[in-house]
Amino acid sequence: MQRTHDEDYDYLYKIVLVGEAGVGKTHLLSRYIKGTLPKNPTSTIGVEFATRTVPLESGGIVKAQIWDTAGQERYRAITCAHYRRAVGALLVYDVTNEKTFASVKRWMEELRENAEPDIVILLVGNKVDLCDRNPDSRKITKEQGARFAMENGLLFEETSAITIVRVKEAFEGLLQAIYNVKSQAGNTRSGRMSQTNHLATQLATNPKAQEKKCCGN
């Protein structure tokens, strides 16, 4: 379906924000989208949705559809249903809380099972502002995070939504990485195009997007 009333963009990427409850997913999203923290923070129930259109460093303009999910384990079955067609994920843990890091592996596996097979995952250690204030509060070192990411083929960032550390870089680094993966995959993706895939259809019907894809090849 041709969209005439949308703003101009070359690609539409669906990104999910996942991780244990209370690690700061909604804060990160609010900081990135609105530039501020949520005025009256409440727990996320179901899914919350936001979009932002971003010019990539190389590759064109991306519209990111970001799905912020509920973290409580009880909601896993529901949350998984939202992973469908996601091409990227921010998997967030809290650097001051070991439990939130211990469960990162399970989140990763669930993402790989339920989202697009070539999903790009960015592991995010959030709340580094707490360690700046009190170094003893850090429970997961930067090396631990980076090592896990490397061993499992994830990207890695440490962030703070409160003191604004690498929030924009995290989101936009992920978008760029998705673009790079997609453009390398090139024509081999034609199989997926033939499905009634919302995002793929979007790419296929956007002549500008087609052109970019060829250039990226």
Partner 1 sequence: MTEETKTNVNTQHTRRIQQIQVEISAAECDLTTLRSLVWHGVDCELRSYVWQLLIGYLPVTLDRRAQALERKRNEYLQYRAEIYEERSQHQTEKHLKDLKQIEDDIPRTQPDVPMFRDEPIREVLRRILYIWSVRHPASGYVQGINDLCSIFLIVFMMPYCSFRILAEPGSLPENMDELEADAYWCLNIMVESIQDYFFPSSPGIQRALIKISEIIFRVKQELIYHFKGEQLEMIHFSFRWFNCMFIREFSLPMLFRVWDALFTMQDGFRILSVYIAAAIVLRWEKELIGKNFSELMIFLQNLPTSRWTEREIEELLSQSYVYFTWFESSPNHLKA
Minimum separation from the CB atom of position 179 to partner 1 (A): 19
Question: Among residue numbers 75 through 94, which ones bind partner 1 (CB under 8 A)?
Answer: 75, 77-78, 81-82
Nearer to partner 1, 92 or 154 (CB): 92
Closest separation in Å from C-beta 204 to partner 1: 15
* Closest CA relative to residue 23, chosen from 78, 96, 79, 132: 96
> Which residues, in sequence order, are bridge partners of residue 155?
122
Q: Which residues make Cβ contacts (< 8 Å) with residue 3, sequence separation at least 6?
A: none
66 and 52 Cβ atoms separated by less than 8 Å: yes
Applying CB under 8 A, among 35, 57, 58, 72 the residue interacting with partner 1 is 72
Cβ proximity to partner 1, 70 vs 170, nearer residue:
70
Extract the tokens encoding 175. 């978008």
Q: Is 146 exposed, middle or buried (0-12, 13-18, 19+ CB in 10 A)?
A: middle
> Residue 53 — left, alpha, or beta (φ > 0 → left; ψ -120 to 50 → alpha)?
beta
Q: Which stretch binds partner 1 (CB under 8 A): 39-47, 122-130, 169-177, 204-212?
A: 39-47
Q: How far is the CB of 186 from partner 1 (least distance, A)?
A: 25
- Scanning 2-10, 108-116, 141-149, 162-170 for contacts with partner 1 by CB under 8 A, the matching segment is 2-10
SS3 13: strand
| Distance of alpha carbon 25 from alpha carbon 31, whole angstroms | 10
137 sits near partner 1 (criterion: CB under 8 A): no
Chosen residue from 34, 35, 41, 109 binding partner 1 by CB under 8 A = 41
Question: Which residue of 34, 35, 43, 106 would you call a contact of partner 1, by CB under 8 A?
Answer: 43
What is the distance between the alpha carbons of residues 129 and 105, in angstroms, rounded to a whole number?
24
CA distances from 121 to 22, 61, 162, 212 (A): 20, 20, 23, 23
Q: Is 204 in the site for partner 1 (CB under 8 A)?
A: no
Q: Which is nearer to partner 1, 97 or 176 (CB)?
A: 97
The answer to whether residue 133 forms part of the interface with partner 1 (CB under 8 A) is no
Which of 34, 35, 46, 109 forms a contact with partner 1 (CB under 8 A)? 46
Q: Which residues bind partner 1 (CB under 8 A)?
A: 1, 3, 5-6, 21-22, 39-43, 45-51, 63, 65, 70, 72, 74-75, 77-78, 81-82, 198
